[in-house]
Structure formats: C-alpha cells, structure tokens
Amino acid sequence: MHQTLQKYFGYTEFRPHQEDIIRDVVDKKDTFVLMPTGGGKSLCYQLPALLMEGLTVVISPLISLMKDQVDSLRSNGIAAAYLNSTQSTAEAEEITTAIMDGRIKIIYMAPERLLMSQTLKLLEDAKVSLFAVDEAHCISEWGHDFRPEYRKIRTLRPRFPNVPIIALTATATTKVQEDITGQLNLAGCNTYMASFDRPNLLYQVWSKQDAYDQLLKYLENCRGNSGIIYCQSRKTVDTLTKKLQRSAFRAQPYHAGLSDIQRARNQESFIKDDTDIIVATIAFGMGIDKPNVRFVIHYDLPRNLEGYYQETGRGGRDGLACDCILFFSHGDRYKIEYFINKKNSKKEQDIALAQLRAMTDYCESRTCRRGVLLSYFGEDIGGTNCGMCDVCISPRETFDGTGAAQKLLACVEELDQRFGMNHVIDVLVGSKNKKITTKRHYLLKSHGAGRDYSKAQWQSIAREMIQQGVLCVEGIRYPLLTLNQDSREILDGNQAVSLVKPAEERQIIRQQKNISAETGLFDRLKRLRKTLADKKNLPPYIIFSDTSLEQMASNLPKTHQEFLDITGVGENKLKKYGDAFLAEIVDHVTGKPVQSPKLPRAVQGRLSATQQETLDLYRQGLTIQQIANIRNLSSSTIITHIEKLILAGEIDSIDEWVDTHKQQAIQKAISDVGADYLSPIKEKLGDDCMYNEIKLVRATVMAAACQV
C-alpha cells in the first residue's frame, strides 16, 4: 500500500483516515467517507483501484470533474478514462474495447451513462471490483445540490451484490448522511468522518456597502493570484467581469447563459493559469481540483451553509493560505426568501428557509465563524479562538448585557412567545405601527422599555442571544422567539449575559506572497511548469502543485532520489519532469541569470480555435475594438489573444497599437523590474502607459527571448 502511494502519487504517508478506508475497500467492505474538500477523498478509491484486480467505476456528476481527474491520473502513470457525451462514437468504442481487454483500471461516468442498458451490460461482462459514488450528497433531497438521477444509483446493489460501494462527500449534515447510506443500501457500512476544519482558510464577513470598491481594494493587493468570485445572478457576473477587465484584471465570466463552448474555454483558461479570476454563479466549481486558488469571494449571500462550505473549499487545496470573504446584506437575504416562497412544494420551502436561516446566523455571528460553521456539521472544534476568522483575529469588546437581555426576554414572555423578532423589537422600541395598535400591544409593560437601543442594535442583541442559546427560535415559515431554561434563569437574576459592543467592521487584508518568493526560484519553477503544461496541453497543477514547487525552492534537491522526496513527486513524474526541474534548480543555485521563459516551437505553433478566429479578423485589417464587437467579447480578451499570437510568432509588430517611444520606455521598465507581474511595471511608468500597452510590449519581449 505504501509503495503504491509513493510510486504513483509521490506521498510518503497517508492523511488521517485514508489508510483505514483503503484497507476496508480492499477487503470489499461498503464504506461511507465524509471528508472536507482538499482532504484526500479521491485517493480513497484511486489507490484501492491499483491494488485490486479488475475495474473501478467512479460515478461523478460533472464532465469537467472527470476530465480533470483522468488527466491527473494519467500524469501519474495510471490507466484511467471516462465515458461521456463529449466523445465521438469511435472514441467511446475504443474505451469500451480497452475496458474489455483489461487495459483500464479506473473509468469515470455520470449516473445517466452508468444506468444505460448497454453500459450495464458492459460492466457485467467486465470484472468490476469497486463502485465509487463521488459527490454523494447529490443523492439526498436534504442536500444543497440534490440531483434526482443520483437516486437511481441504488439499483446497483441488487445487480452487483458482491461489488463493494464507497460513497464520498465533503458536505453532509446528519440528515444528509442518513439519506445517502439509506438510498445506496449501505446499512451497516463502515463510516469515516474527518474533521471539517480547513485551518488554512481565513473566513471573513464584510458588510455589503460600496462592495465593488471594497473588492477592488482587496484584489489590487493580490494581483496575479488565482481566485473565484461567486455571484447569485448572471447579470451580476457579466457586469462585475467587465468592471474587472476594465481595471486590467485577467477575469472571465462563467454561468449557464454562456454557450457550452465559451464556458469550457473560460474554465480551461482559468485552470491553465491564463485567467486569474473566474466570476461565476454557483454553476461553476464542482469537481474543480485547481489547488492554487488563493481567494474565494462571495459577492452575494449564498443560499445555504452546505453550498458555502463546498465553494470556499475550492480554495487553498494545496494547503497554502486562502482568503474566504463573504459580502453580507439583509437585502440579499430578502431576495432569496422571495424566490424560496415561489417554490411549489411547502416541504422544499421549509428546507430552504431553514438553510437560509443558518446561513444568516453564520453571517451575523459575533462568535468564532469557524466554530459556527463546523457546529452546523456536528463538529465541536473546542476552544473559543480559532485565530483564522475576522471575529477571532479582531475580537470586539464585550459588556454586561444582562439588563438588555432581561428586557428582551420579558417582552417575549409578555407576548406569550407567539411573535417573531421584528415584532418583539417594535414593541421594545415603542413603535405604534398598524400591527401593534391593532393588537393593542402599546398597552404592554414592555412597550417602549427598550428605547435606550436602536432597532438595529436590538436585532444584533437578539441574534447574539440566539447564538448563545439563551433565546430560542421555533418554526420555519414563521419563526417565533421563545424562552428556555436559561432564559428563565436570566429573568430571575440568577444568570448573567455578556454581549458584544457594536463596533466598526474590521477587514483583514493579508499580503499574499509565496514563502519562497524572495529567492526567485519559486517563480522560475512556476514559469517552467507553465511552459511544460502548455506543451502537453495540461493544467499546470497536473505537472506539480504549488506545494511541491515550494518544497523544491526550499529543499533544493540535486539528485533523483532527493527529488523523489518532494511531496507529490512519484516515479512517473520523476521520469517525465525530474531532469528539467533539477536543471532549473542547479541553474539558480549556480547563479545563472533569470531569463524570460522560452516557449518550445511546438507551443509557439499551437493556436486555440478562438485565437485563430481573432487572427483571421486581424489579418482583415480590423481594429481591436472592431474584432471585439464582431466576436461579442471584451477588448481585454482580444488583447489576451493578441499576446498569444505575438508569442506564437503570428504578429511581428505592435506599432499600430503602441507608440515606438512608449515601447522603449516599457521595455526599460520590464528590464528593471522583470516581466512576471504587471503592477510593478505600471507603478514604475505611472499614468503615461495603460495596462493593455504593457501587456503587448511584454509579449514582444518574451517572443524575442524565445528566438535567442
């Protein structure tokens, strides 16, 4: 088991639970795995597939997930493939033949393909050793991403009674867990639950005021890093993307309103590090294994904590730092409530409202955000300060709130525990709105007793009391404030309450740099990785993760054996890439000057379909703006195409776009500060040069270096 781990995956030890899970699977035991995103779920079925005779069938919800996983497995020297609708009949037949010949160890497919009669017949004729149900929460109607077709997977058990099933998910409450094991007939299976905690993620909630200005300030601090920005609507995605492109960020949109081809292009561009920022609806991300996402921003309020947790989990999969920032406003909450109330099913409405309330409680929490998030999934992290959320890093001052709490609880009691928060607070602040006058609640003793606080302050006090468990909420559709034993103790003066003082919001903006950035070697290795990845048409992280590059830059391996000791380097990757990376390290240590990355001729000659289309229009004498208008793309996107065309040797001169004197000034700035990042070049040049001009000149400099 350990030899296989080292040989194919480049790891010397297992993460928590992995070894026990793999032993159970190899022993043909049904298994349920609940493990956070980035925790190593895939290895729990990929490694057993290599140890067991026959075929492992992985049921996956998205085509993008399949391709990503298969590319990674093949890079490690593992015979893997997928069957889906993107393939031609000839390609599908070739894979089918390989399965029957025993040349495939792992096959990925969606549930719809799996349950087709010809697929089931194929699997019956082949020797199936394991079924792995990935993203298993999709099977549960209580989950955040329920897919009815996943329910039909339960028919595998009677058809393949002797084949073990492993179900895996990163997000599942107790109710969802029970639904998964019940639907898949996994009664009595071994269950493994890893901690949901991702200690490298910094959680923050920012008030949604001047949100774009706040966002821009943050992004300026981390130009060049990869990140995802989630929005609720397609319109917001498109508007925000255009604003970011105008601010010279390499950003692309992703939502269901784009064509399949455009979505695939944008996703591929992001995965290959040609785009830094994806602005997306929640349609983006499931199964995306890009490990170097340094920030995940929710520009709008998510609908539930399960989805939020999974989306933030797409950041920092390499174990390095990632910021998770959520912009919160009650206006967003009301919009979501409006759409929930449009649902036809009362049961669906109740589930969605309960999930939204938990999401809102998280945003309004005055206690550790990590604690609130993990407790939702049934985990107690212990302690009160995680050191990695805005609440814990910048704790607010508290005060003795017993008097305020008694006023609120007395009002709830006087109203017979039959009203919601807003009405209770209206009574406290002395409102005489229609509802209060109609019900004659202005005659209550509590009416006006809380005028020492504003309505917003009372809302904050009430929410914090709910989070502390000294005040309860009952009901989903019409939530009512109710009392419990702690409430009675406070009213009787036997228990004190500490509350947080209202204060200005504090935003934490970390300077995101690589730990080996000062040596320059990390950036050299990163450029080499990108060059090799482009040559093989792979995402850079398939070659090596940032974590591996960091170790190389720190440990400075000189021999093949030392290179094998780097995390993520297996025998296959040593054979493919070892000499190139070792040579780069030696060059750096011996003082060889850093040069612009040289692109192989094979890379220079390869153009994508969209770049070729831009080239054809350019050759017709059209301007950049005209090309952008014809193609319904932004001018920044066309500039990116032209950069690629310059590097590919298709465009020799940029004189029509950038004045020759300005070219010389930009070239000198690049010589002084390097070509890796645009911001330092722009800072040196000032307002005289635009980012797009810098991009074009930089491309000509790199193209010239390629000819040396």
Token pair listed for 66: 């399949």
Buried b (16+ CB within 10 A) or exposed e, 135-174: bbbbbbebbbbbbeebbebeebeeebeebbbbbbbbbbbe
CATH number for the domain including 576?
1.10.150.80
CATH number for the domain including 608?
1.10.10
- Euclidean distance between CA atoms 675 and 604, whole angstroms: 19
Indicate yes or no: pTM above 0.85. Answer: no
Same domain, 372 and 407: no
Q: Please report whether residue 594 resides in a domain.
A: no
3 state SS of 314: coil
Strand partners, 201: 322
Same domain, 383 and 408: no
Same domain, 151 and 279: no
Residues 128-154: tens digit of each pLDDT? 999 999 888 888 766 566 777 788 888
Residues 29-39: tens digit of each pLDDT? 999 998 877 77
Q: Please report whether residue 276 resides in a domain.
A: yes
Question: Which residues have C-beta within 8 Å of that of residue 319, sequence separation ≥ 6?
Answer: 38, 200, 547
Of the residues 161, 193, 225, the one at which a domain ends: 193
Distance of CA 347 to the CA centre of its chain: 29
Span 26-52, average pLDDT: 89
Whether residue 605 has pLDDT greater than 50: no
Same domain, 491 and 607: no
Same domain, 248 and 374: yes
Same domain, 439 and 377: no
pLDDT at 228: 96
Helix (H) or strand (E) holding 681: helix 678-685
Whether residue 414 has pLDDT greater than 90: yes
Of the residues 535, 569, 589, the one at which a domain ends: 589
Distance of CA 27 to the CA centre of its chain: 34
For the chain, the domain total comes to 5
Report whether 640 contacts 251 (CB < 8 A): no
- Euclidean distance between CA atoms 73 and 107, whole angstroms: 11
Report whether 441 contacts 432 (CB < 8 A): no
Site of tokens 């780097």: 566
Of 374-388, 454-468, 593-607, the poorest mean pLDDT is in 593-607
* Residue 61: DSSP 8-state: S
Same domain, 126 and 233: no
Number of neighbours of residue 194 by Cβ within 10 angstroms? 19
- Euclidean distance between CA atoms 255 and 281, whole angstroms: 6
Residues 614-662: tens digit of each pLDDT? 888 888 778 888 888 777 777 878 888 898 888 888 888 898 898 888 8
Highest mean pLDDT among 152-156, 443-447, 496-500: 443-447
Buried b (16+ CB within 10 A) or exposed e, 3-28: eebbebbbbeebeebbbebbebbbee
Site of tokens 């036809």: 344
Token pair listed for 16: 């928590």
Q: Please report whether residue 12 resides in a domain.
A: yes
* pLDDT band, residue 483 (cuts 50/70/90): very high
State what percent of residues in the chain have pLDDT above 90.
Answer: 36
Q: Where are the alpha helices (DSSP H) in 394-441?
A: 402-414, 421-428, 434-438
- Strand ranges for 595-664 from DSSP E: none
Report whether 312 contacts 201 (CB < 8 A): yes
* pLDDT band, residue 429 (cuts 50/70/90): very high
Report whether 650 contacts 603 (CB < 8 A): no
Strand partners, 229: 279, 297
Q: Please report whether residue 494 resides in a domain.
A: yes
- Euclidean distance between CA atoms 55 and 282, whole angstroms: 33
Same domain, 186 and 89: yes
Residues 346-378: tens digit of each pLDDT? 888 888 888 998 998 899 887 889 988 888 888
Same domain, 114 and 162: yes
pLDDT at 705: 67
Q: Please report whether residue 511 resides in a domain.
A: no
Closest CA to 5 of 59, 45, 43, 53: 43
CATH number for the domain including 476?
1.10.10.10
- Euclidean distance between CA atoms 80 and 74, whole angstroms: 6
Number of neighbours of residue 537 by Cβ within 10 angstroms? 12
* Residue 615: DSSP 8-state: H
Q: Please report whether residue 383 resides in a domain.
A: yes
* pLDDT band, residue 707 (cuts 50/70/90): low
Question: Which residues have C-beta within 8 Å of that of residue 166, sequence separation ≥ 6?
Answer: 21, 25, 30, 31, 32, 33, 44, 45, 130, 131, 132, 133
pLDDT at 137: 84
Whether residue 577 has pLDDT greater than 90: yes
CATH number for the domain including 11?
3.40.50.300
Q: Please report whether residue 359 resides in a domain.
A: yes
Same domain, 177 and 248: no
Closest CA to 420 of 372, 480, 351: 480
Cα distances (angstroms) measured from residue 1 to each of 9, 166, 178, 454:
11, 18, 31, 63
Same domain, 415 and 465: yes
- Euclidean distance between CA atoms 362 and 370, whole angstroms: 9
What average pLDDT is seen over the chain?
A: 85
Q: Please report whether residue 506 resides in a domain.
A: no
Same domain, 237 and 363: yes
Q: Give the domain extent around 423.
A: 398-500
Residues 98-129: tens digit of each pLDDT? 999 999 999 999 888 888 999 999 999 999 99
Distance of CA 647 to the CA centre of its chain: 31
